Amino acid sequence: MNFKKHLEVSGGHAIFGASQSAWLRYDEEKMVERVNSLFAKNLGTEIHEFARSQIDMKIRSRSIKSLKDSFMTYIYRKYFDEEKDCLSPYGEKLLSGISRMSKDILTTVQMYINDCIGYVMTTEQKLVYDPVYFFGTADAICYRDNILRIFDLKSGRLQAHMDQLLVYVAFFCLDYQIKPEELKQIDLRIYQNAQVACYEPSVEEIQTIMAKIIRDRKALMDIFSEGGTQL
């Protein structure tokens, strides 16, 4: 038998596939909930990638309308199928989602992009203390004149907490061997729901997290090195 190649799904993962078969027990409401949840997550990823592209190219957002138009153009170009000379079904769904996007989300993205450009920040920067156990990727970061800034963009409605950014600070200090007390200022910001939550942690907060990371890494290394055991 000559099996179909199905190039249209090459590299993709089905929402309802065989490897995760819990959906066999879903009712229609749960199926819809699953689709909406996954789409919201994917759209959030696209928002981050779009924001990164604007920051890296230093394209400031002048208005909500221009931002929305730029985002839709970005998605159209990204998911245009040249072979079929049309937008892919997934791209169509993303454009539909952007067209219904709330003003709060667009305002949040606009503030984030403009602030990151203003502070000349680096996007999607990896911070590594241990390449197996302790590392992360900051949405936007800059370190200049002993001032550390880390900004995070959140597209979801559930209120985010500063813990993630505090860990990034600890990773940064460990990665670049900088003592928290040497920092003149630590400027942490979460952009979410058309608001900016700002926080300046104390030296003691960062030192506590760093000490835990160092202690936990040592414990893990000791455990997995006993008897030659390796992950």
CATH number, domain containing residue 192: 3.90.320.10
Specify whether 72 is located in the same domain as 138.
Answer: no
Q: What is the pLDDT of residue 230?
A: 52
- Has residue 86 been placed in a domain? yes
Specify whether 126 is located in the same domain as 222.
Answer: yes
Specify whether 159 is located in the same domain as 83.
Answer: no
- Has residue 154 been placed in a domain? yes
Q: What is the pLDDT of residue 35?
A: 86
- Has residue 2 been placed in a domain? no
**Positions of the chain with pLDDT under 70:** 8-13, 226-231
Q: What is the pLDDT of residue 9?
A: 67
Q: Which residues pair with 141 in a beta bridge?
A: 122, 150
Specify whether 138 is located in the same domain as 73.
Answer: no
Rg (C-alpha) for the chain, rounded Å, is 21
Specify whether 30 is located in the same domain as 81.
Answer: yes
Specify whether 103 is located in the same domain as 174.
Answer: no
Q: What is the pLDDT of residue 8?
A: 66
pLDDT in tens, 154-212: 988 778 899 999 999 999 999 999 999 999 999 999 999 999 999 999 999 999 999 99
Q: What is the pLDDT of residue 191?
A: 97
**Residue among 121, 74, 66, 111 nearest 95 (CA):** 74
Q: What is the pLDDT of residue 226?
A: 61
Q: What is the pLDDT of residue 213?
A: 97
